[in-house]
Amino acid sequence: MDIAEVAKRSGVPASTLRFYEEKGLIQSVGREGLRRVFNANILERLGLIALGRVAGFSLAEIAQILGSKGTPNIDRAMLVSKADELDNTIQKLIAMRDGLRHAADCPAPSHMECPKFQRLLGLAASGMIKGEGTEKLSNKRHSNKARYQTRQ
């Protein structure tokens, strides 16, 4: 199956396929003219890569899972560790959701007078809660800016 067909059937852009090949996640078996050609199992491998990305695994971790011999080597301890990490993230998101709902309905005259909102601000400032793309900065003068930044 050539790269155009793989891209069409998988929904993964050809540029991403080339990137994955460069990183060793997938391997072409040859070329038809200028186009890379892949085995039929490429769609399964791309499915594993997509699942790994959705679960939050890095490309290096996904490469380890995929194995170098073409057969996936799924480390159960790694799966348990990632599941625990997801549980922690879920708990943080639930706390954030609950805090935002409280802030929306809070009877305090100002959010800045609400103890729950103040606690939420304190957690954000300390780095205990972080949104996707935020970075914990050690330099205090940047902490207020970092609290509100997210990756575009």
Is position 33 within any domain? yes
Domain of 31: which CATH number? 1.10.1660.10
* In a shared domain, residues 87 and 137: yes
Domain encompassing residue 90: 76-148
User: 66 or 152, which is more confident?
Assistant: 66
Is position 71 within any domain? no
Strands (DSSP E) found in the chain: 30-32, 35-37
Could you say which of 25, 41, 66 is where a domain stops? 66
Q: How far is CA 25 from CA 6, 12, 54, in A?
A: 15, 14, 16
Per residue in 12-24, pLDDT tens? 999 999 999 999 8
What does the DSSP assignment read for 15-41? HHHHHHHHTTSS---EEETTEEE--TT
* In a shared domain, residues 40 and 83: no
* In a shared domain, residues 21 and 60: yes
Q: What is the pTM of this model?
A: 0.66
Q: What's the pLDDT band for 131 if we cut at 50, 70, 90?
A: low
Per residue in 35-80, pLDDT tens? 889 998 899 999 999 999 999 999 999 998 888 776 788 889 999 9
Q: How many domains does the chain have?
A: 2
How far apart CA 74 and CA 67 sit, in angstroms, is 8
* In a shared domain, residues 113 and 90: yes
What element of type H or E holds 10? helix 3-10
